Amino acid sequence: MPRLRDVLYSGQITEGEPVYEFERRFASFVGLPNILSFYSGTAALHAALIMAGVQSGDEVISTPMTAEPTNMAIMHSGAKIVWADVEPGNGNISPDSIASKITHRTRAIMVVHYGGIPASMKRIREISDMHGIPVIEDAAHALGARYGKAPVGADSEYTMFSLQAIKHMTTVDGGMLACKNPDDLPQGRRIRWFGIDRHAPRTEVDVKEVGYKYHMNNVNATIGLVQLDHISPVIERHIANGRYFDAALRGISGIELCHGDEASESSYWFYTVLTDRRDDLSRHLTDQGIGNSQAHKRNDLHSVFADSRCDLPGLDSFYSRMLHIPCGWWVTDEDRERIVDTIKKGW
């Protein structure tokens, strides 16, 4: 509160030094050097699509197993969404399916690390390099996740982290975009503020491209700066709870656990179990007062994305069997033991 109060009374509440300091400190926290802040993760994704060169009429390959903002950002760009199927075992976009959906119009590949489990980035990178198509990672669930001992995003052209209210870390609202190429940063800064270079004398700028009002302000950035001092134990607790479930739920009959490839280390934003009698398990947990949900609707069922519909057998399987159980920082040792005991009793 003291720092928030200071910034609110400072007379300087829009984008300024606290925003730039937050970008620098977030960069060193995630271990990705070129970071741009935005007012939301969705805005950051839209900017990334523009920077990747996506234009109206192009195709972007994406996953339907995600929150709507992933795909709404593609709609904002004017591109056509082409669904790739997902792995039935973890809900992440399937590299084989991506490869089969590439056409001469494909301009970007959008990858989501669903629930925090990194997708198969090694294979996705190979496909992207083979065709010269940039990869945009939606890492909204994956702050703190690692792939091949590096932070997620280390190898992709663009990676977005959301700082929305319910993500691992929050600035109330906000989004951070890691760019692999530092030459992208000036364009990113223009896109987020009406196409204008904020640091040039106003009457001397010539606006050459369409820009947006997507910048972060000093108030949200100050919340982020304070959060950075406290966020590591929060993320560590998600991971500790997730690993506890990995060990304690293994081998229970009727339950399958989700995991990524051998390079993948999850940030456990939520914990997904797969089971054939999903609604029965859900009722059993609810009866015992244990929160559980299907966090997202498969996006291909929405009317707004109707033009992209196609057969997705991997998604049919994952979507009919997935159930998310809590594993966040608020889940105590007693809570997680009770969750495991309740599942072990059968449903």
Ligand X SMILES: *Cc1c(COP(=O)(O)O)cnc(C)c1O
Encoded amino acid at 207, one letter: V
Of the pair 59, 137, the CB lying nearest ligand X is at 137
Of the pair 163, 339, the CB lying nearest ligand X is at 163
Burial class (CB in 10 A: 0-12, 13-18, 19+), 49: buried
From 6-14, 94-102, 133-141, 254-262, span contacting ligand X (CB under 6 A): 133-141
Closest CA to 136 of 58, 211, 47: 47
Of the pair 281, 315, the CB lying nearest ligand X is at 315
Of the pair 98, 139, the CB lying nearest ligand X is at 139
Which listed residue (66, 92, 266, 282) binds ligand X by CB under 6 A?
Answer: 66
From 86-94, 136-144, 182-190, 333-341, span contacting ligand X (CB under 6 A): 136-144
Number of residues this chain uses to bind ligand X (CB under 6 A): 14
Strands 158-162 and 175-179: antiparallel
Of the pair 146, 168, the CB lying nearest ligand X is at 168
Shortest distance, position 216 Cβ to ligand X, whole Å: 11
From 63-71, 80-88, 102-110, 128-136, span contacting ligand X (CB under 6 A): 63-71
Burial class (CB in 10 A: 0-12, 13-18, 19+), 53: exposed
From 46-54, 61-69, 210-218, 326-334, span contacting ligand X (CB under 6 A): 61-69
Reduced to 3 states (helix: H, G, I; strand: E, B; else coil), residue 341 is helix
Which listed residue (74, 102, 112, 274) binds ligand X by CB under 6 A?
Answer: 112
What is the phi-psi region of residue 326: left when phi exceeds 0, alpha when psi lies from -120 to 50, beta otherwise? beta
Which listed residue (37, 63, 70, 159) binds ligand X by CB under 6 A?
Answer: 70
Give yes or no for a contact between 121 and 155, defined as CB atoms under 8 angstroms apart.
yes
Q: Is 40 in the site for ligand X (CB under 6 A)?
A: yes
From 23-31, 117-125, 134-142, 333-341, span contacting ligand X (CB under 6 A): 134-142
Q: Is 18 in the site for ligand X (CB under 6 A)?
A: no
Between residue 228 and residue 247, which ones bind ligand X under the rule CB under 6 A? Answer: none
Give the residue ranges of DSSP H helices in 203-308.
218-228, 231-248, 278-287
DSSP 117-166: PPP-HHHHHHHHHHHT--EEEE-TT-TT-EETTEETTTTSSEEEEE--TT
Which listed residue (18, 41, 91, 260) binds ligand X by CB under 6 A?
Answer: 41
Q: Which residue has the tokens 């049919």?
A: 316
Residue 159's contacts (CB-CB under 8 Å, 6 or more residues apart) are 32, 136, 137, 139, 152, 153, 177, 178
Q: Per-residue contact track with ligand X, 165 to 204, x per CB under 6 A?
A: ----------x-----------------------------
Shortest distance, position 113 Cβ to ligand X, whole Å: 8
Tokens describing residue 90? 């973890």
Distance CA 272, CA 295 (A): 10
From 47-55, 135-143, 208-216, 259-267, span contacting ligand X (CB under 6 A): 135-143
Closest CA to 222 of 163, 138, 148, 159: 163
Shortest distance, position 104 Cβ to ligand X, whole Å: 28
| Residue 78 CB coordination number (10 Å) | 13
Q: Is 42 in the site for ligand X (CB under 6 A)?
A: yes
Contact residues toward ligand X (CB under 6 A) are 40-42, 66-67, 69-70, 112, 138, 140-141, 162, 164, 175
